Amino acid sequence: MNHEVTNQTPPIAGTNAWRSDPLLMQLGEGFSEVARKDLDLLGKFARNPEALDLARLANSESPKLRTHDRQGRRLDQVEFHPAYHALMRRSVALGIHSSIWENNESEKGHRHQIRAARFYMTAGLECGHLCPVTMTSASLAALMASPKLFREWAPRVTTRKYDQASKPPVEKSGLTIGMGMTEKQGGTDVRANTTKAERVGNGFYRLTGHKWFMSAPMSDAFLVLGQAPEGLSCFLVPRILSDGSANGLHFQRLKDKLGNRSNASSEVEIDGAIGEMVGEPGGGVRTIMDMVTLTRLDCALGNAGIMRAGLAEAVHHARHRQVFGSALIDQPLMSRVLADMALDVAAATALSLRLARAFDEAANDRTEAAFARAMTPVVKYWTCKIAPALIYEAMECLGGNGYVEEAPLARHYREVPVNAIWEGSGNVMALDVLRVLKRGRGPFEEVLGWIERELGASGPGTTQVLRAAMDVAVEDEGSARILTEQLALAAAAAELKRLGAGQIADAFAETRLGGQWRTTYGMLGARYDARMIVDSLYPEVN
């Protein structure tokens, strides 16, 4: 080497994702001491050099499908790099796949919120392996429609033990559950599914057909939609039967995806697979709705966590990089770009955790129940929509160093679109908002009442605009995205106000609700203290 390397940013490794996130720590102030200590340990792990390398390897060494063995027998096995299994082992041990279903005293009253904080920080490390984690947690909501199945499967899921072996479920120390919903001809329109389910007796059916996307194909069982004589129904289909034989799930190939590469997604032919009905005959869509609601929360949390991690990289770089004789972060344009992005990340974080709080309190509070019902598609829509542009801008802050694969930003940039597409794209979310609205304004009026109270003086004007947007959307379906985004921005501003975020909340509300035309970041005016915003939300913490 013929020169000394200077003015290169030191690695972010060795810091703590929990301690360096004051907003997340504030949201966790009501958690038990045990939970906060666990989150502190997770925050340390998420920035551990070895953990960051596991995240890199799990994606660079992508899963491989082995359809047959060397003698030509069907295998239908997907091989993962050990880094993937290490990440799965850690997340399962933390209970991210099961904690909301456990009777853990240290998480009482905050189960969804504590899990949300864990999910958020883990997503910032590596989000692909969280796909089977999400599906397992959410699948138990669907299994509650069949108490017998829930009693059989939930105890095996909640062991917090990750068992990667291909064995019958009864022989394993821990289980994961996947989903098989969409088909070639229908996609989101699952009612167009053609997979057939023929009754064989005692609540069991034989399924024949295909699924176009079946992620985490090494799950121990799958919730599958199929056409029974009574109509579209939901079935629990084990991958391996109790006698050790394969259950007719023939994986054709793995999807070559833009991102989410650590997680395998497969196309599968279903050849006489045995499944047990979940819920009522013909009630498949109704059976999976609670499950879908939980997965949508995770989509929002995942992208919020990735945005936090991506912007943390950009701020870290800007603090250490010298340009034109001073730190990059001291350059007025850069500080305003970072501050502008920080407002959106703070809003996405607060809004996603606000939804988790609604899930925790819905059973005992009418407003929280209304928030969970009306705002789940809203929160998923907005948090997922803003992520690609924000991660790109964070990448640009690093310049060429952000564009290379050695940096995590390239992986984050490829990852975030999947959370917008999975469990309902933007149009589907907007249509879900309309569906709830057309059934009655009650839930939205509860939400608007909360927004108005939290926003204070600007509340009545904001809710007046939202009610007008509702009137338009009821008559003009094509305007549903406008309503959905306005609801998200208003709710995020209200939650930041509730948290006492002061100038940060004011800056977000005034720039996002004020009507200014914005297409890129860095549009904050001089009256906002950009450096204060960045330093408050991204303090220098070792």
pLDDT computed for residue 1 by the predictor: 59
Span 291-317, pLDDT tens digits: 999 999 999 999 999 999 999 999 999
Cβ(491)–Cβ(351) below 8 Å: yes
Kindly report the average pLDDT of the chain as a whole number.
Answer: 96
Cβ(94)–Cβ(129) below 8 Å: no
Q: Would you place residue 515 in the very low, low, confident or very high pLDDT band (cuts 50, 70, 90)?
A: confident
DSSP state of 217: T
Structure token pair of residue 408 = 């995590």
Task: State yes or no: pLDDT of 372 exceeds 70.
Answer: yes
Q: How far apart are CA 343 and CA 294, in angstroms?
A: 26
Task: State yes or no: pLDDT of 415 exceeds 70.
Answer: yes
Q: How far apart are CA 175 and CA 143, in angstroms?
A: 14
Share of the chain above pLDDT 70, in %: 100
Predicted model pTM: 0.97
* Segments of 18-61 assigned E as strands: none
Alpha helices by DSSP H, 94-237: 111-125, 130-143, 147-157
Checking 143-148 for CB contacts under 8 A at 24+ apart, the result is 143/236, 143/278, 144/290, 145/234, 145/278, 145/279, 145/280, 145/283, 145/287, 146/236, 146/276, 146/277, 146/278, 146/279
Q: How far apart are CA 387 and CA 345, in angstroms?
A: 9
Q: Characterize the bridge pairing of strands 326-327 and 196-201.
A: unpaired
Task: State yes or no: pLDDT of 514 exceeds 90.
Answer: no
**DSSP per-residue string spanning 326-392:** EEGGGSHHHHHHHHHHHHHHHHHHHHHHHHHHHHHHGGG-HHHHHHHHHHHHHHHHHHHHHHHHHHH
Residue given tokens 């003086």 in the structure block:
457
Task: State yes or no: pLDDT of 327 exceeds 90.
Answer: yes
Share of the chain above pLDDT 90, in %: 96
Span 173-220, pLDDT tens digits: 999 999 999 999 988 888 889 999 999 988 899 999 999 999 999 999
Task: State yes or no: pLDDT of 84 exceeds 90.
Answer: yes
The H or E element containing residue 453 is: helix 442-455
Strand, coil or helix: 445: helix
- What angle is formed at CA 352 by the lines to CA 348 and CA 358, rounded to 5 degrees? 145
pLDDT computed for residue 35 by the predictor: 98
Task: State yes or no: pLDDT of 356 exceeds 90.
Answer: yes
